[in-house]
Structure 1
């Protein structure tokens, strides 16, 4: 008996002819780029190195677009952003040892934010694998061990025939919920040796659907339908799963107010009557969440920031939908549903009953009014003016990428993202230097929209080299640098904790002149002119830098009983 799939496995005569007569002059590096193309990749990021040259040489024989950055960590941030914006896997080509290790902080951010990055690093020749000390340049005793605690999976290739399968397995892992980075390493000699293997064509690496268990969604639906005060916390998993529409439909069916985490910005309309916006670092919001009799948490682990620094103590029943099993019930007991956010929300939409609670929008408005009153009492006009100017200058559909800086901390709580998947920051892992290289990756993903990067002067110094990348590829990124003379947030933390700050004050370059030395237009602005100067920069093609000298302050925390 012949099955349909048996027929599909039989090569056509043309395929057989091509397989038996592969073109000459190909190497293991060609197998890498052919496999990436067969998997659906169109753009790769990276930085060449001695052991990886076989991959980079093969790029010139392929139609893959290459975006080369100047520092491996920045290349990782660019790939992270490409993965977030497109929802597709972003290949990242790296060399051995120092080049590979320099990507680790970026891969940690990709893991924390569930960005699908396929990092492909070279290795010393096969004879040097296995933990010996053979004296090869860049050699590590166990290179993959450095990545195992950071990425979703690691794959080591030892022969050319293993390349397509290893890359396909890694690709599938990167795209299976929760998305995340993966690591593949290939020895130098495997990449350089000529190959007689057939050209790699289409490769099947379909990610597995993470479907919720129906008995659990039935219980969750019953709890939500019968709840008196249901509330929803929407995390980054809603954005990654492209489930904002499902979330809104469920909230409206339940009349349940929604707060978005900092990673979930844009998952729910900011001005919706049921919106609690993103004021998670506020006791008014925390109290409201604690008062819910049923709290639905979708795509969030309720970690440090989302739980108001672990002060949140729910009194009602918690339902947690989470694709990462390690985050399920890790901070609070819950009805844990291990599932992709979109599939779980779809199941709930089909099974919950219609609730009507005319008072719910009023309760949400009361919380927001209390938050605004608290902020208004703190004399933070400058900070709000700057954030308002940034929002007014940025087109609604343009993505923004925020480094770890005071203005970003404000934006987490107070910035209206307006669209899902448009506001991104490094709050997953919290590393400096994310904003600008990530924005370059987003601009490479979609050249039709201007992209905004926001950094402080301290974080900006991590990324200065990428002004050359921005100019080389003529990427549409405007970089706003808020120059306060040092590590502003650490200055505040240390002053509050110890009475004075140490090691936070920095000598800076003239950022405008420095940008211009790279051939990138630069302008110095003021809070009064920021909106106009940013609007102008964003409206002109190619890269630009806008520098705002200003000392911004954080709003007072409320997780410590201060308000």
Structure 2
């Protein structure tokens, strides 16, 4: 009897001929790019270095599109955004030692945000490995050790024949729920050595589905169907698993109000009658969620920001759906369902009966009214008008990327992203400099639509070099820089805590003149002209910069009753 797998494993005559007669002049670097092509990759990010030149030389013999950034950390942020936008693993090619280590902050953000980044780094020649300290340039005692605490998995290839399997295993790991960054390491001599191995063609690295246990979803469905005051917290896992439609269907079936975390922006329609939006740093929202007799948490670990700085204390039953096993019940006890959000929500939809509740929309309106009254009383009209101007200028389906700046902190709570997967920030790990290089990665993923990056002047200085990248690739990214003369949010934190700020005030360049020196059109705007200037910049092809001098203040959050 012939089995299906026998047919798959039996090469055709043409495949046999190709395997017996591989092209001349190939190296280990070619095996890297061939494997990436076989896995379906089309774009790679990175920055060349001495030990990695074998990979970069092979790129010119491949069909892969290379996007080179000026700093490895920025290349990592670009790959992070590419992975978030496409849902595909984003290859990131790096060199040894300093080049590799420069990517660590970006990989930490990718890990915190579950962005699938496939980082492939070179190593010193094999003769220097295994504890032998031969003094090679870029040599580290244990390069992998620097990555193990950050990435999902570490993979090594010490011979050419190990390269395809190592990369395929890493690819599968990056795309298995929860998504995340992975690290592959290959010595310089292996990348440079000639190879007579056959050309790598199709590679199967399909991740396994993370399916919920049936008895848990049955219990969860019963609790939700019989609840008096159910509520839902939707996190980034809903967006990453493309489960927004499932979430909407479930919320409407059981009439459950939904609040989205800052990482889950766009997971639920902002203006829906059941939408509590994203006002998590507000006691009215916190009290409402605490009062739920059954609280469904989907794709969130209920960390610091999602729990109103760990002041949230639910009184009802908690059901938590989470792909990261380490986050299950890590902050609140309950029914932990280890599963992909989409699969778990699908299972609930197949089981839970309709639960009508005509009062739920009114309870939502009451909470939002109380939140708005509290914010209105603080008189932050400038900040709100600027956020409104950004929303008015940004096309509905255009992605936006936000640095750790005061306007972004407002946007976490108050910005309507209008579509899932269109608003991204560095709130996972909280490092500066994310927005602009991430926006460049998004532009590489979808060159046909404009992209917005939002930074403060402090965070912008992390990424100035990438203006050259934007111009080189003619990326349609508009960079809004809110210039307040320093690290604005840290200025507020320190002033509130200590009565004065230290180390927060910054000398900075003329951002308009600086952008123009890179050949990037730039304009200095005002709050009154921001909508028009930003609209024009986003509509123009290619890169642009809009500088807004403004001193913004945060709204007063409420953590305690």
Q: How much does 1:560 deviate?
A: 4.1
Give distance in 1, aligned partners of 2:462 and 2:131. 33
1:6, CA displacement in angstroms?
1.4
What is the correspondence of 1:9-24 to structure 2 with a 5 Å cutoff? 9-24=9-24
- Are residues 1:484 and 2:478 paired? no
1:439 counterpart residue number: 439
d(CA) in 1 for partners of 2:132, 2:26: 30
Displacement of 1:130: 1.8
Match of 1:139 in 2: 139
- Structural mapping, 1:273-288, within 5 Å: 273-288=273-288
State the distance in 2 between where 1:211 and 1:261 align.
23
SS in 2 for 1:17: helix
CA distance in 1, matches of 2:277, 2:412: 10
- CA distance in 1: counterparts of 2:266 and 2:397, whole angstroms: 11
Task: Tell me how far apart the structure 2 counterparts of residues 182 and 360 of structure 1 sit (CA, whole Å).
Answer: 43
Which residue does the alignment assign to 2:461?
A: 461
Q: How many Å apart are 1:2 and its aligned residue? A: 3.3
2:277 aligned counterpart, secondary structure: coil
1:68-98 Cα distance to aligned partner (Å, 9 max, x none): 0000000000000000000001000000000
1-structure distance, mates of 2:560, 2:229: 26
Q: Which runs of 5+ in 2 are unaligned?
A: none
Alignment of 1:393-412 (within 5 A): 393-412=393-412
Spell out, residue by residue over 1:157-203, the C-alpha distance to the aligned partner (whole angstroms, 9 max, x if none).
10000000000000000000000000000000000001000000000
CA distance in 2, matches of 1:397, 1:324: 29
Deviation at 1:131, TM superposition (A): 2.9
Deviation at 1:129, TM superposition (A): 1.2
Structure 1 equivalent of residue 48 of structure 2:
48
For residue 556 of structure 1, what is the aligned residue in structure 2?
556
Pair 1:375 & 2:375 matched? yes
The one-character-per-residue Cα deviations of 1:334-378 (angstroms, maximum 9, x if unpaired) are: 100000000000000010010000000000000000000000000
State the Cα deviation string for residues 437-468 of structure 1 (Å, max 9, x = none).
00000000000110000000000000000000
Shift of 1:13: 1.1
> 2:185 is matched with which residue?
185
Q: Structure 1 residues 123-132 or 263-272, which shifts more?
A: 123-132
Aligned ranges for residues 187-336 of structure 1 at < 5 Å? 187-336=187-336
What residue ranges of structure 1 are gaps of 5+ in the alignment? none
Q: CA deviation at 1:402?
A: 0.1
Match of 2:531 in 1: 531
Structure 1 residue aligned with 2:29: 29
**SS of residue matched to 2:306:** coil
Q: Matches of 1:313 and 1:163 in 2, distance apart?
A: 49
Distance 1:173 1:130 in 2: 26
TM-score between both structures, scaled by the size of structure 2: 1.00
CA deviation string 1:503-528 (max 9, x = no partner): 00000000000000000001000000
Inter-partner Cα distance in structure 1 for 2:452 and 2:197 = 45
Aligned structure 1 segments of 4 or more residues deviating by more than 6 angstroms: none
> 2 CA distance for matches of 1:217 and 1:560?
33
Q: Equivalent residue for 1:102?
A: 102
For 1:154-173, list aligned pairs within 5 A: 154-173=154-173
**Could you tell me whether the CA contact under 8 Å between 1:131 and 1:140 is conserved in 2?**
no
Partner of 1:90: 90
Q: Secondary structure at the match of 1:263?
A: coil
For the aligned residues, what is the CA RMSD?
0.5
| Alignment partners' CA distance in 2, 1:259 and 1:517 | 44
Instruction: Please tell me whether the aligned partners of residues 44 and 93 of structure 1 are also in contact (alpha carbons under 8 angstroms).
Output: yes
Q: Residues 134-160 of structure 1, C-alpha deviation per residue, up to 9 Å, x if partnerless?
A: 100001000000000000000111000
CA–CA separation in structure 1 for the residues paired with 2:339 and 2:560? 34
